[in-house]
Structure 1
């Protein structure tokens, strides 16, 4: 009897925990929707257009040719930091200027629980990406891009990655917030549908932004790069903290780099 009662209590606790998590996510969807509704549309348009244009410039050979870094194999750390800084710093500066009164809506101090959740989300999204990549390669006879720049990643490149990913997050969530803002003008708001559509379009644009990096393999960019970004949306709804999404993105990319580097070492032996 005692064992049965204890087991029942554990089951009830798990059910309550699931219900609480669902309730928190639904509350977060509502709060996120209302928060975006309070932000002026013109600010979201300016940030979205600026981030998109800067990304188009950054992902073309134009910037590398301009800085004469295209053929440099042993660049200094300062040079490696320069290019991603030119991409990220202008976006962050504009974001802080436009949303200086709303920064607490997007960024909060990370706590231990959020860090743990972000790391798990990054690992989970990486697992999804690997699963989709395996499905394409072995199930659908799909050949992915051979990204030599990622394979030759060295430790000093981590600093550039830290900077670049912050700019990518600004692009991703400026797209998400801009599209979500358009839904706030409907007479009868559909919170769940608006979040889903905004998420899908943001993931698509984010995936397409990686076309030049992955040799213009559109399927790879949409499904292996873009689709796992849904995890970041869920993470945002859970924590309402963009630092969590950034941390998860960093963990995701670092795992990819480590896997490619390990594969390269194995093939060389």
Structure 2
């Protein structure tokens, strides 16, 4: 059973946002993502600045519109949640590999340029490259989960759909937004971004649906990506379809 009776800010009557609040959150996501992609690459520790802005701007906006209830997005963390991080991290990796292998039969895939940098690094350089990915991946989870919750609020509160249909629509919107955000990373390969990355996003969003905890989906995301990065560091390349998301 999920850890909460409702989805925060969408179906939980104790923590609710209105249309203006959701508009501000969506705008903050766009601003954070724009800064992440527009700011120049910098050496560590300055390399932490774009990911921290990507993560921090939406969180500050959430704190502004939800007050002390902003923490409802994250949920609790215990042994069950940690186990679910591992489970959904492994499931995301399996889905990424499977879909990637299928897509590779149809058209060539573009490599993740971040993963390609791993093979020539020392252990210390690898650590300095991976540390900024932690706030970035939390930011990516905000980019996946907040649109899901916004769509859920819209479907139920404005269109009168059931929660089940709201969840389905929310997962689809989350996957589409997340996949589209990765188009520049994968040389505008639409199939790879929308189908390959989008399918992995479905698994990560379902991790949130099951647990109501962004910590779980973020933990699964980190495990999936770091597995790919460490594989590239150790072996010099990634298996087809194993590019981190």
- TM category (shorter chain) comes to 0.7 to 0.9
Q: Which runs of 5+ in 1 are unaligned?
A: 1-23
Match of 2:39 among 54, 63, 78: 63
Q: Which residue of 1 aligns with 2:218?
A: 246
CA distance in 2 between partners of 1:87 and 1:106 (Å): 17
Deviation at 1:34? 1.9
Alpha carbon RMSD of aligned pairs, Å? 2.4
- How many residues in Structure 1 have an aligned counterpart in Structure 2? 229
Query: What per-residue deviation string (whole Å, max 9, x for no partner) do you get for residues 59-94 of structure 1?
Result: 3xx321xxxx3xx6xx2x212212222322222222
Match of 2:19 among 41, 44, 50: 41
1:91 aligns with 2:91: no
Cα distance change, pair 149–234 in 1 and its aligned pair in 2 (3 A): closer
Q: Which residue of 2 aligns with 1:11?
A: none
Q: Which residue of 1 aligns with 2:79?
A: 112
Q: More helix per residue: 1 or 2?
A: 1
Q: Which residue of 1 aligns with 2:6?
A: 31
Q: Which runs of 5+ in 2 are unaligned?
A: 119-125, 239-245
CA distance in 2 between partners of 1:188 and 1:206 (Å): 26
Query: What per-residue deviation string (whole Å, max 9, x for no partner) do you get for residues 222-260 of structure 1?
Result: 122111122223222221111111111111111121233
Q: Name segments (4+ residues, structure 1) moved above 6 Å.
A: none
Larger radius of gyration: 1
State TM-score, norm by structure 2. 0.84
Query: What per-residue deviation string (whole Å, max 9, x for no partner) do you get for residues 134-190 of structure 1?
Result: 1111x32x1111333322132211210001111111121111111111112357532
1:209 aligns with 2:181: yes
Q: Which residue of 1 aligns with 2:134?
A: 162
